[in-house]
Structure formats: C-alpha cells, structure tokens
A = this chain, B = another copy of it.
Amino acid sequence: MVAVFCFNQMKFERPTYLLNADICKTNIRTMAEKASRSGVIFRPHFKTHQSLIIGRWFREAGVTRITVSSLSAARYFANDGWNDITVAFPVNLRETQLVNELASRIRIGLLVEHPEVALKLEKDLLFPADIYIKIDTGYHRTGLGIDEMPVILRLAEIVRSSRMMSLKGLLTHAGNTYAAASKEEVKKVYVSCTGILNEVKKNLGDSGKELLLSYGDTPSCSIVEDFNNIDEIRPGNFIFYDLMQMIAGSCGFSQIAGIVICPVVAVHPSRNQAVLYGGAIHLSKDFLVVDGRRIYGQLVETDQNGWINLIPGAYLVSLSQEHGILEGPDEVISELHPGMTAGIIPVHSCLTANLLRGYQMTDGESGDYFPGK
C-alpha cells in the first residue's frame, strides 16, 4: 500500500525538503490573480521560502514588491535585485547601520509601533524610508490597538514631521486566523480585523486619508475571495502550504508544494512504529493536535511523480533531536524497511524550511535558503 518514493536519480541520504516547482508556481499564480481581481497590491512574504531561486519565480509572475521578516533577509533579497522590500517586524534599533545600508539603495518599508523608536529613527536615518504603523487587530502579538489611538496619533505626527520617514500605511498581521476552527471563522476574523484597520484610518482624520492598508496571513488570503476594504496583501506560507494550513482549510492536498523525505532507520511492528531520520532539527517541534494527541507530520503515499495521497492515521507522533517516530496502521508499518524513505507533510513549512536550509526540486534541481546572516 505505501509506495516508496523513488526518483532514482536522487539519493536522499538525509532529511530533504523536496519541492514540486510546478505546484509552487501555480500557488503563486493563483494568489497573484486573486490580488489582481481585487485590485490590491500583492506583496508576498518571503519568510517561508527565503530562497532567491523561488523569489525569481515570483518575479516571473510579475511581482516587484516583497515582504521579509528580518533586515538581514532584506539584504539577501536586495542583493538579488529586489528593490522594494517591507520588513514586517518591529524595527530593531540595534541594526540601524543595516537599515541605513538598505535605505541607501532600495525602497525600504519599516514597521514602527513605539514613539521612542520613531524618535530614534528620526535621529539615525540617513536615507528615506517608508514607515508603516503596526496595528494590533486582535492577534495581540505586536502593534497598537484601536484603544491606543493617542499613541497612534502621536506616532503619525512624529513620522509626518520627519526628514527621512514617510508615513506610508497601517499594517496588520491577523495571526488569529491560525486559531480559527473553520473557513467561516477565518472570514469573520478577516471582516473584524480589516474593520478595525479601517476604523483606525478613519480616526486619523485627514492625516490618515492617503494611508495604505496592508494585511497579512495565508489563511485569510487563501479563503477570502474579495479584498474589498484593504490595499495590500502579504501572505507567505501559501507558496508551500503545509499540514496546518490543509487541516485549517486554507488549501487542498493538491496545493501542498513540498514534503520532507526521511530515511527509515528502524521499524518496530510490535508497537506499530518506524523510526525515521527526521527529528526536531529537521521538522521543528511545532505540532497539531489530532484525535487528542500531538502530531508533527503526516505520511504520504508517493509514486514516481510525487505525493499522491495522504495516508490516514500515519503520523509522526514524537520527535527528538534527530529521531522521528512514525506511527501508523499495521499494513503501513509492515511495508516499511530500513533503507527506504518516507515522505512526510510537515506541520509548519516555514519552520521546516528554516531547519533544512535548502531544497531539492522534483526535477532534480536544488534550491538555496537564506544563510541567516
């Protein structure tokens, strides 16, 4: 029943993130077309793939503006010709030298949520930068809430009177869609969060009129069809998707663009388990709860062309540093032998990609990953 994955030209000696470039490109096209239909700017987040090669697939699809999650990643992509980058993370004042280096040569967007930070930037910035005020629309991770309008107004004032900073927009990440139980709930979160964003803009009066409203997160951008009340979307995870997104309804199995190939190193039929070379340092300890237990990935059936089916009930149930414990029905585990490989859909592709730091494509090509510095 379980087909062994056997692209013969690939050795798969160690845990490997195997990507199907066609699926990635379809995911890009689908999202780009949706943004275009809604008339919003498509500024994809590159934090998931962090790859120059994959970045170029976005460029081929007409993307010219991107989002990243760190200043050092901004430099990585700027060095590959990207010249309009938003760093969707509160400005790190310990890296103002890098901020200036970037601002000197590309259009850089920075997130600010603290007057102190704006005042410090005003002192230190040597080149122009776009500023977005980070708004907390319900996720409560970062940003200023609508109950903090006096701070938002003060921030807007500091930025507007600055030499180098231009107030460009209000930006939010609706990470609370990840906790949504259904597509309907995701849509509700979208309505609520974009509503708050619009209200903050209105509260800013004349000074808010020209501000762009920028909205993130893959669940919303995958499930909502019409982005009628915002100006920009910044989804990231959709390039690969993963088990978390699939279970949440953001994507179907056919949109899963990558799996992790793990060598089988031991089998224990008596406990319905196999041991994979594929642990916490390959897949990450992020988990989902399925039927009351933590799972770290799901086994897929594979053939010469790729991953063709989920295997029901076959999950990674435990990870240590290098070991992954795969548990599944008798008829699945009995097919596995040391020396084979197993294909796993990771729970959270962003963290898995960051751990594996490189890709193998199904056509044999390999892909880079941001080296981290």
Contacts and interface: CB of A to CB of B under 8 A. Distances in A.
Interface of A: 11-14, 47, 69-70, 72, 89-95, 98, 113-114, 116-117, 120, 140-142, 148, 175, 263, 265-267, 270-271, 275, 277, 280-281, 284-287, 318, 320-323, 325, 337-339, 341, 350-351, 354-355, 357, 372-373
9 contacts: A14-B70, A90-B266, A113-B266, A120-B339, A175-B320, A280-B284, A280-B351, A281-B351, A285-B287
A334 to B, nearest CB: 13
A337 B120 CA distance: 12
Contacts of A114: 266-267, 338
A231 B120 CA distance: 60
Contacts of A354: 281, 321, 355
A90 to B, nearest CB: 4
A185 B337 CA distance: 36
Given A14-B72, A284-B285, A91 B265 contact: yes
A94 B351 contact: no
A89 B47 contact: no
A284 B142 CA distance: 20
B338 A95 contact: no
Given A14-B70, A93-B338, A148-B270, 12 more contacts: A13-B95, A13-B98, A14-B94, A69-B322, A70-B322, A89-B265, A89-B323, A90-B338, A93-B339, A113-B266, A120-B339, A280-B351
A187 B182 CA distance: 47
Nearest to A268: B142
A328 B99 CA distance: 30
A321 B47 contact: yes
Contacts of A318: 141
B141 A320 contact: yes
Nearest to A275: B142
Residue among A263, A265, A271, A275 with the most chain B CB within 10 A? A265
**Identical chains bound together, number:** 2
A270 B98 CA distance: 31
B142 A266 contact: yes
Nearest to A322: B69
Contacts of A116: 337-339
B263 A321 contact: no
B275 A94 contact: no
B263 A94 contact: yes
A94 B339 contact: yes
Contact of A13 (B90, B92, B325, B339): B92
B141 A275 contact: yes
A126 B117 CA distance: 63
A141 B323 contact: yes
Given A318-B141, A351-B321, A277 B89 contact: yes
B357 A372 contact: yes
Nearest to A134: B266
A90 B322 CA distance: 10
A286 B277 contact: no
A88 to B, nearest CB: 9
A89 B322 contact: yes
Given A92-B13, A266-B142, A357-B372, A117 B338 contact: yes
A271 B354 CA distance: 30
Nearest to A271: B140
